[in-house]
Amino acid sequence: MEQYTPQMDRSGLHYASANGHDQIVNQLLDSGADYDANDKGNTPLYSAAENDHPKIVQFLLNNGADVNAENIRLQTPLHIGVEKASVEVVDVLLHAGADLHIQEKSGKTALGIASRGSLIGIVDMIIKAEHDQCCDKENLSNVTHSKTRMSHSATAHNEVSDYLKSVFWKLATKQLKPNDWKMLAKHWQFTDNHIKAIEHQYTGNESYKEHGYRLLLIWYHSLEKNENPIKKLFEGLVAIGQRELAG
């Protein structure tokens, strides 16, 4: 553990967070330590995210840490969590409502960083989270809406059944035309950036098949628990003019 000296900007909470010492973090916060202490813009939350300590990330957030604090490179804890490919840290930050539109100094959002790094799982998580946020804004009148959403983690609540996987795979690889998956994405209110992020993961003449399959999986995990995926898929296919595929 790096030795802390008063001349340095980093606080004891920074060091404890960076090194995963959850008991020390707890003691420091109980003693009144500043959970948003600034070290060139880096807060203890940033230190915990950078060093892959999701438990401490959650603890700091529970105690009021700013999930969107930016450092001198305009990076938030989410940016660094994505850079470090820490799925658990990213999941915690997404659940805490991290702003997905903040751009770091080079102009990249968290989704842009994940796409460039070919971090497929994290790309899916961020797309789902942003899609959920968009849908939630349009359904504010439904007070239970945000409470019934699935986890941003693709495996947290509801695994895709073998039957649905086979339906999605057959649809994406044998039935949908090259641009149909994009039409479905638009119908389901995914953005151009979401589509580009999915496209970035696979290339080639038949890559649209993988793109379509990824979209269907992400879309499925964006559904509310009480929604029927087959019914919603039927409605989507009809909406894009593929009534014959809807059965």
> Where do the domains of the chain lie?
10-118, 160-245
Four-way CATH pick for 10-118: 3.20.20.20, 3.40.50.150, 1.20.140.10, 1.25.40.20: 1.25.40.20
Architecture of domain 160-245: Orthogonal Bundle (1.10)
**Residues contacting residue 199 through CB under 8 Å, at least 6 positions apart:** 207, 211
Per-residue pLDDT of the chain (247 residues; tens, 9 = 90+): 444 443 356 799 999 999 999 999 999 999 999 999 988 889 999 999 999 999 999 999 999 999 999 999 999 999 999 999 999 999 999 999 999 999 999 999 999 899 887 788 899 999 989 887 766 555 544 444 443 344 444 444 456 788 999 999 999 999 999 999 999 999 998 989 899 989 887 778 899 999 999 999 889 888 887 889 999 999 999 999 998 887 6
CA angle 96/113/115 to nearest 5° reads 105
CA separation for the pair 228, 97 (Å, rounded): 26
